[in-house]
Structure 1
Amino acid sequence: MSRITLPRAARRLAIAAAASATAVVLTAVPAAAHVEVESEKAEALAEHVTISFEAESESDSAGITELKVVLPEGIKPADVTYDKGPEGWKFAAEDAGYTVKGPALKAGENAEYSITVRQLPDAKELAFKTLQTYGDKRTDRWIELDDEGENPAPVLKLEAAAPGAKQTDPSPSNTASPTPTADDTAQPSSAKETDEKSDQGGLPAGAWVGIGAAVVIAIAAVFFVVRRRGGARS
């Protein structure tokens, strides 16, 4: 009897051990690298909000050199200022977002930086699509908005706006005055003088008055000479 039950027990123990080993192996596999984003003031319409990012490195041979970010709708490049980042890295605003780049980090080192946003939009979440470039020109594209995608964009979840919170006026850099036209830049200092010149062939009114007086004097002189000669002949 014991000869039959022992092999069965052994097989059960082997299966249980294999399952445990498999679970350990699966849990030991690291999650796919990506970009993390967080903020202590993640609230719709909040002002002067600092947002921190951490781009995880998944290269053992090259360091991260650049992070190019496309801003979510409701945040303009002019509303963003650079807070801090890796030593030697610089911030540059672009048409649709910004770039943070500099000397290559050590291979395997994550890139951490933070920005300050003038005001967050009235939204539930903000996606910061990111292109992560390494020293060997490899680029990881963290741009997918699907939670189950292989390359998800970093998304900041926002709480509801505080009672009474409102959208502030746009920043001065976003309300630039209309670009002057060629006609605007060519205007003289006096608009009255411009009108007089255009109506009178390009000369000031005083010049035309002088010309008129000279013509009158010339005609009078000719008339006087002709009349005097006629009297002398008679």
Structure 2
Amino acid sequence: MSGRALPTGVAPATTGAGPAHPVTLGAAAVPAGFNPAGAADGGASGAPRGVRTLRRAARGLVVAALAACLVAVLPAAAFAHVKVTADAAVQGGYAALTFRIPNEHDDVSTTKIEVRLPSDFPLASVSVKPHPGWSYEIEKTTLATPIESHGAKIGEVPSKITWTASGEDSAIKPGEYDEFSVSAGPLPDTDQLAFKTLQYYSDGEVVRWIQEQGTGDEEPERPAPVLELTAKGAVAPAPATAARAATAAGTGSDAGVSWAIGLSAASLVICLGCAVALALRWRRTG
């Protein structure tokens, strides 16, 4: 061989039958970013970049699936609200009002209902229809300025009605509703009346249906029951027609509640199933 020097960092090869020694590369010869361990991205975990990306995607999908489950379940309760209806509610007249009270809970009963009568439009006369299994009490308040009804000055008017279940058998159980009726009047000269209502549950919780909805605003979470009044001289709906409409609306509302709850339950099962599948896939790829 000639006496020409080999490049720095390269060991001379051996000849003969024995195995050749591997060529040793100096530090300067190692390409930038090369991973001796053979990992695609050189990360400490040794996992290829594609696997780590899949892990992150799986974690994100699990979180998104769980969030979707909550979004699907929570709106169901919004379908069931306390309502007040009447066959005919004409300004200046009397009306039979019906308060529909649904039980939104799945493990406790409604044991007491408290309806606050409008303070800005006092009702001179209120009488309660007896309800089996429930007692009632009417509270009155003294007005700063008496109102006139049928030619008489009235200084004290009903302000609140409270119905109380006599026992658990009479309470409104989960998944059920009940109706409570009163006769009230004379109705004031206004477009509508709000009846703020408190709903008491057997576990001590009190749901306050007292939020009033402004014109053009979205419906609040706990809206106060509102009765629409017909102006004097206007053609009011016939009692039978109004009764059928109220019944149909109530039936539709109940069906909507059941449908929404069923849909939410199905969505919850599907979402949880997807979340579990994604979590298992994530663990296998890890």
TM-score, with normalisation over the residues of structure 1?
0.53
**2:96 match:** 50
C-alpha change, 1:30 and 1:41, in structure 2 (3 Å) is same
**1:133 match:** 200
- 1:69 maps to a residue whose letter is V
Choose which of 165, 173, 186 in structure 2 pairs with 1:102: 165
Counterparts in 2 of 1:58-69, with a 5 A limit? 58-69=104-115
**1:123 match:** 190
Report deviation, 1:159: 1.2
The separation in 2 between residues aligned to 1:106 and 1:143, in whole angstroms, is 20
CA offset digits 1:20-62 (Å, max 9, x no partner): xx9xx969x6351320111011211112x10001011111111
> Are 1:37 and 2:84 counterparts?
yes
Aligned identity (percent) is 35
CA offset digits 1:71-112 (Å, max 9, x no partner): 013234x61111143x22112111331111113425222131
Counterparts in 2 of 1:85-234, with a 5 A limit? 85=131, 87-95=132-140, 96-103=159-166, 104=168, 105-108=171-174, 109-146=176-213, 148-162=219-233
TM-score, with normalisation over the residues of structure 2?
0.44
**1:173 match:** none
The separation in 2 between residues aligned to 1:62 and 1:143, in whole angstroms, is 21
Counterparts in 2 of 1:68-83, with a 5 A limit? 68-72=114-118, 73-76=120-123, 79-83=125-129
**1:5 match:** none
C-alpha change, 1:110 and 1:162, in structure 2 (3 Å) is same
Query: SS at the partner of 1:137?
Result: coil
Q: Hey, which bits of structure 1, 4+ residues long, moved more than 6 A?
A: none
**Greater C-alpha Rg:** 1
Report deviation, 1:156: 0.6
The separation in 1 between residues aligned to 2:117 and 2:87, in whole angstroms, is 19
Report deviation, 1:162: 2.6
CA offset digits 1:97-128 (Å, max 9, x no partner): 11111134252221311100132111100000
- 1:34 maps to a residue whose letter is H
C-alpha change, 1:106 and 1:129, in structure 2 (3 Å) is closer
Larger relative contact order (C-alpha < 8 A, sep ≥ 6)?
A: 2
The separation in 2 between residues aligned to 1:114 and 1:150, in whole angstroms, is 25
Structure 1 gaps of 5+ residues are 1-21, 164-234
The separation in 2 between residues aligned to 1:106 and 1:151, in whole angstroms, is 19
